[in-house]
Chain A
Amino acid sequence: MAKPRPVRGIQPSRRLRPNARKILAVRIDEIYQYDGLVGDPRNITELHDMRIAFKRLRYLLEIFGEAFTQDLGPFLDEVKRLQDLLGDIHDCDVQVPMLVAHLAWLEEQESQSVAAMLIRGQRASSPDNSDVALAQFRSRLNAARRADERPGIHTLIAQRRSARIALYEQFTTQWRRLKYERFRHRLETALGIVTS
C-alpha cells in the first residue's frame, strides 16, 4: 500500500481550516497521480493504491467538513462512488487468487484422504469376491475424493472474473466523467485551495 505523502507546514495551534486545506490539497493530488496508471486494467497495485487514496480523501472530507462553509456532501458522494467501485474491483482481485488457492487446498486434502484410505485398505481384509472388493474400493475412493466441490469453485472464479471486467468498465467511465466535469477544480475551489 502506498504511504500517504507527508504534509508540510501544519501548525496545530492555528485554526483548523488553513491546516485542513494543506492536508486536503496533498491528498487530492495523490489521487490524480494515478490518472495515467489506472488506464490499464492489469495495473492491480495502482488501482488498489488509488482506492486507498480515495478512501483517505473521503475520510478527510468527513473529518474536516465542519471547517468549511460550502456543502461538501456532493463531492463526498462522488469520492465514495469511486472508492466503492475500486473496492469492488479490489475484492475481485483478492478473491480470484483465494479461490484458486482453495482449489489447490482441495487437491491436497484429496490426496491426503486417498493416501489414508489406501493405507486403511491394505490393513483391512478384502472380500473374496473381486467385484464386491472393487465396489467397496470405489465407494471409499469416492468418499475420499472432493471432486464434487470443484465445479462450484470454478463457477465462482468465472463469476468474479466477469464481474471484474464489468466493474473496471464502470470505473473508467466514472473516472472519465469526473475529469470531464472538472471535479478536481470544483473541489479545490470549494475548499479554497484554488480560486475560480
Chain B
Amino acid sequence: MAQPWTVNGLTPDAVFRSAAGRIILTRWREMMSYQDGTLAGADIEELHAMRVSSRRLRAAMDAFADAFPPREFRRYLREVKRITDTLGDARDLDVTIAHLDALLVDLTPIDRPGVIGLMSRYQARREIETTHIASLFAQLENDGFSTQFEKWIAKHTGVKVTKLRPAPPEMP
C-alpha cells in the first residue's frame, strides 16, 4: 500500500483548525497525484493508491468537520465520497478478478469453466467502471473542483496549498 505523504508543518501543539487545513490539503494533493496513472490504467496499483488516498482524505474530512460550515462541508464531502465510491467499485472488481485468477491454478477441470465465465463477466463490468472514472474526472476538471476545494479549505483554515507544499514520501 502506498505510504501517506508527510504533512508538512504539523506539530504536536497545532491548532485544530490549522491542522485540518494541513492534513486535508496534503491528502487531497496526495490523492490527485495518482490521477494520471489511474486514468492511464496500465497499472492497477495506481488506482489502488488513489483509492487509499481518497479514503484517508475522507477520514480527515470527517475528523475535522467541526472546522467548517456544515452545509458547505456536506457538499464537498459528498464530492469526495463520490470519488471514493467510484474508485472503490473499480478496485473491488480488480481485487475479485485477481483473486479468481489466482484460484484457477488449483481448480479442477470441472470447476474452471464457471470461474472463467464469472471472471469474464466481472471484466466486462470493469470496463464500464473505467468509463465512469474517466467521466468523473472530466466533470471535476470542467467544474474547476480542485481550485474551488483548495480555496475553500484555505478560507476556513488559513492554510494555503501553495505555502504548504505537500511532499510525497522520500523514495528508499
Contact = CB atoms under 8 A, between A and B. Distances in A.
Given A12-B66, A151-B111, A66 B59 contact: no
Interface in A146-179: 146, 148-156
A19 B16 contact: yes
A154 B114 CA distance: 9
Nearest to A153: B114
Given A56-B62, A64-B63, A146-B117, A12 B20 contact: yes
Contacts of B118: 99, 102, 149, 152-153, 156
Nearest to B7: A66
Q: Tell me whether chain A's interface is mostly helix, strand or loop, or mixed.
A: helix
A4 interface: yes
Interface string A41-77: 0000000000000001001101110111100000000
Interface residues of B, number: 34
Contacts of A67: 12, 14, 19
B56 A151 contact: no
A92 to B, nearest CB: 12
B144 to A, nearest CB: 27
A151 B23 CA distance: 50
Interface string B106-141: 010011111111100100000000000000000000
Interface residues of A, number: 36
B111 A152 contact: yes
A154 B108 CA distance: 13
A15 B117 contact: no
A152 B115 CA distance: 6
B142 interface: no
A19 B20 CA distance: 12
B66 to A, nearest CB: 4
Interface in A110-164: 146, 148-156
26 contacts: A10-B66, A12-B15, A12-B20, A14-B16, A15-B13, A15-B14, A15-B15, A16-B14, A16-B19, A17-B13, A19-B66, A56-B62, A60-B63, A62-B56, A63-B59, A66-B7, A69-B12, A102-B121, A146-B117, A148-B114, A149-B113, A149-B117, A152-B116, A153-B115, A155-B114, A156-B115
